[in-house]
């Protein structure tokens, strides 16, 4: 697969293009908005020059990578590709329309992949003429740096294709894992409580976003707290994934979206990309962190930092245990996914052993008794673990 097409030249698309070009592939980059492609290539050139200046890559290598990427003004220019990866808006109907058009141009041997983070691979491939050559190839942002790639075969995907893509991703220097085609796959399913429970704590006026972030960083050693991370990802993107997972699990209360996050989305307070989200990024950044737009008050934090940490980490560990029970991935891949996909400081299954599964069970039971909500139900496997 030496000729690789990328559909979508946004942050993910250009990142995947850079990655493929670095692996000596000839890359064909297409976006319906050609000015976006030009802008992204200009930014990529700046990035590569900086890498060369810092000695991370040679000047020759930076030029080689850039010259491997061919901007395309029409989708039919991808006709000779061996592999095409779509990285556009998270909308099933739009993706299906793009793939239906693409199929009219590429050969029957061309593999079609989607970088979707939460949409069912089976639902995307079902309308295709050759659904067996379709597969999920989910990178994490920024694609050139984050090692994890989730490879997701749909129900109609040819049996050997997943392993072929795993081998290809390894040749690109990635750490691929095979995931079942379930809502959110591995990472976005298991990680939902990191955001959802943090939002719930703030919605209940038990603590501010800054206090929650501080608790997760000080007690859990997370590099970023949930609100900092939502601001980085984009509150609209994070909210969209949560809604998709919630709907696709037939409105399971565990994945219920946050009204606070919806209001932030409606107000266009989307995080770093708009200059303001849960934190304000519009001021000059002379301070160590951006100013929080939520004011701290003495009576606002009604639970301790340790209680915040235990509430969120217990929900995360419970979700990892349930993924293990359902065979969404094996233990090793679950641990790898969360550490290499979202930079968790430890694998959640081992973290559960460290804290003690009975303690995790106790925290969830107390939350269930307090709220009387299915949101806090335990995995049937959790109580059996010691």
CATH code for position 204: 1.10.1040.50
Q: 301 pLDDT band (50/70/90 cuts)? A: low
Question: What range does the domain containing 7 cover?
Answer: 3-178
Looking at the fold, whether 164 and 228 belong to one and the same domain comes out as no
Burial 151-168 (b: 16+ CB within 10 A, else e): bbbbebbeeebbeebbeb
Which pLDDT band holds residue 198 (cuts at 50, 70, 90)? Answer: very high
Looking at the fold, whether 139 and 32 belong to one and the same domain comes out as yes
What does pTM read for this prediction?
A: 0.90
Considering the domain architecture, whether residues 201 and 126 belong to the same structural domain is answered as no
| Across 347-354, average pLDDT | 98
Reply yes or no: is the peptide bond before residue 275 cis, omega within 30 of 0. Answer: no
Residues 241 and 261 in one domain: yes
Residue 25 falls within a domain, yes or no?
A: yes
Which of these is catalytic: 40, 62, 117, 379?
Answer: 117
Q: Are residues 197 and 132 in the same domain?
A: no
Instruction: Single out the residue in 113, 146, 178 at which a domain terminates.
Output: 178
pLDDT at 297: 46
In the predicted structure, residue 284 carries a pLDDT above the cut 60: no
Per the domain annotation, does 9 fall within a domain?
yes
Listed residues 125, 153, 178: the one ending a domain: 178
**Chain position carrying tokens 């996914």:** 337
Decide if 219 is inside a domain: yes
Which of the residues 40, 188, 238, 258 is marked catalytic?
Answer: 188
- Among 156, 178, 200, the domain boundary falls at 178
Q: 105 in a domain, yes or no?
A: yes
Q: Which of 185-199, 279-293, 303-317, 341-355 has the lowest mean pLDDT?
A: 279-293
The helix (run of H) or strand (run of E) holding residue 6 is strand 3-7
Is 90 exceeded by the pLDDT of residue 99? Answer: yes
pLDDT of residue 220: 97
- Are both 29 and 140 inside the same structural domain? yes
Same domain, 160 and 207: no
| Same domain, residue pair 112 and 214 | no
Q: Are residues 202 and 311 in the same domain?
A: yes
Catalytic residue among 118, 138, 314, 318: 138
What CATH number should be reported for the domain holding residue 153?
3.40.50.720
pLDDT digits (tens, 9 = 90+) for 110-154: 999 999 998 999 999 999 999 999 999 999 989 999 999 999 999
Q: Is 38 a catalytic residue?
A: no
Q: Which residues contact 153 (CB under 8 A, 6 or more apart)?
A: 121, 135, 136, 161, 162, 178, 181
The answer as to whether 183 is a domain residue is no
In a domain, 184, yes or no: no
Is 188 an annotated catalytic residue?
Answer: yes
Q: Based on the fold, state whether residues 36 and 79 are members of the same structural domain.
A: yes
Per-residue pLDDT tens for 39-77? 999 999 999 999 999 999 999 999 999 999 999 999 999
Q: pLDDT averaged over the chain?
A: 94
The reply to whether 150 belongs to the active site is: yes
pLDDT of residue 141: 87
The answer to whether the Cα torsion of 350, 356, 360, 363 is positive or negative is negative
| pLDDT attached to residue 118 | 87
Q: What is the pLDDT of residue 292?
A: 53
**194 and 161 co-located in one domain:** no
Q: Given its phi and psi angles, is residue 55 left (phi above 0), alpha (psi -120 to 50 degrees) or beta? A: left
Please tell me whether residues 46 and 82 are part of one structural domain: yes
Q: Which of 103, 150, 210, 335 is catalytic?
A: 150
Nearest 10 degrees: Cα torsion 184, 188, 191, 192: -60
One DSSP character per residue, 366-386 reads HHHHHH--GGGPPPTTGGG--
Residue 193 domain flag: yes
User: What's the domain count of the chain?
Assistant: 2
Query: Per the domain annotation, does 371 fall within a domain?
Result: yes
Mean pLDDT of 317-343: 96
């Amino acid at each position: 697969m030496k000729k690789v097409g990328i559909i979508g030249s946004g942050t993910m698309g250009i990142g995947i293009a850079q990655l493929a070009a670095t692996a000596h592939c000839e890359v064909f980059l297409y976006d319906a908005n050609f000015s976006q492609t030009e802008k992204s290539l200009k930014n990529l050139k700046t990035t590569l020059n900086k890498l060369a200046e810092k000695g991370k890559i040679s000047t020759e290598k930076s030029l080689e990578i850039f010259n491997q990427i061919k901007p395309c003004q029409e989708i039919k220019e991808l006709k000779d590709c061996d592999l095409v990866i779509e990285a556009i808006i998270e909308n099933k109907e739009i993706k299906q329309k793009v793939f239906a058009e693409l199929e009219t141009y590429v050969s029957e041997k061309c593999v079609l992949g989607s970088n979707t983070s939460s949409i069912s691979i089976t639902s995307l491939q079902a309308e295709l003429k050759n659904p067996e050559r379709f597969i999920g190839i989910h990178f994490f942002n920024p694609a050139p740096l984050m090692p994890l790639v989730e490879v997701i075969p749909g129900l109609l995907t040819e049996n050997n294709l997943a392993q072929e893509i795993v081998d290809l991703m390894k040749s690109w220097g990635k750490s691929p894992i095979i995931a079942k085609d379930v809502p959110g796959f591995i990472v976005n399913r298991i990680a939902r409580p990191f955001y959802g429970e943090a939002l719930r704590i703030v919605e209940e006026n038990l603590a501010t976003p800054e206090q929650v972030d501080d608790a997760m960083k000080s007690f859990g050693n997370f590099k970023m707290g949930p609100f900092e991370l939502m601001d980085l990802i984009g509150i609209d993107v994070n909210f969209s994934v949560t809604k998709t997972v919630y709907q696709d699990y037939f409105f399971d209360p565990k994945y219920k979206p946050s009204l606070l996050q919806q209001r932030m989305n409606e107000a266009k307070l989307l995080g770093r990309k708009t200059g303001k989200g849960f934190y304000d990024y519009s001021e000059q950044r002379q301070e160590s962190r951006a100013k929080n737009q939520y004011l701290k008050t003495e009576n606002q934090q009604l639970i301790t930092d340790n209680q915040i940490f235990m509430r969120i980490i217990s929900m995360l560990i419970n979700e990892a245990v349930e993924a293990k029970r359902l065979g969404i991935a094996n233990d090793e891949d679950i641990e790898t996914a969360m550490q290499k996909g979202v930079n968790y400081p430890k694998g959640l299954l081992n973290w559960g052993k460290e804290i003690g599964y009975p303690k995790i069970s106790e925290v969830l039971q107390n939350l269930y008794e307090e709220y009387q909500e299915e949101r806090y139900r335990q995995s049937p496997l959790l109580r059996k673990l010691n």
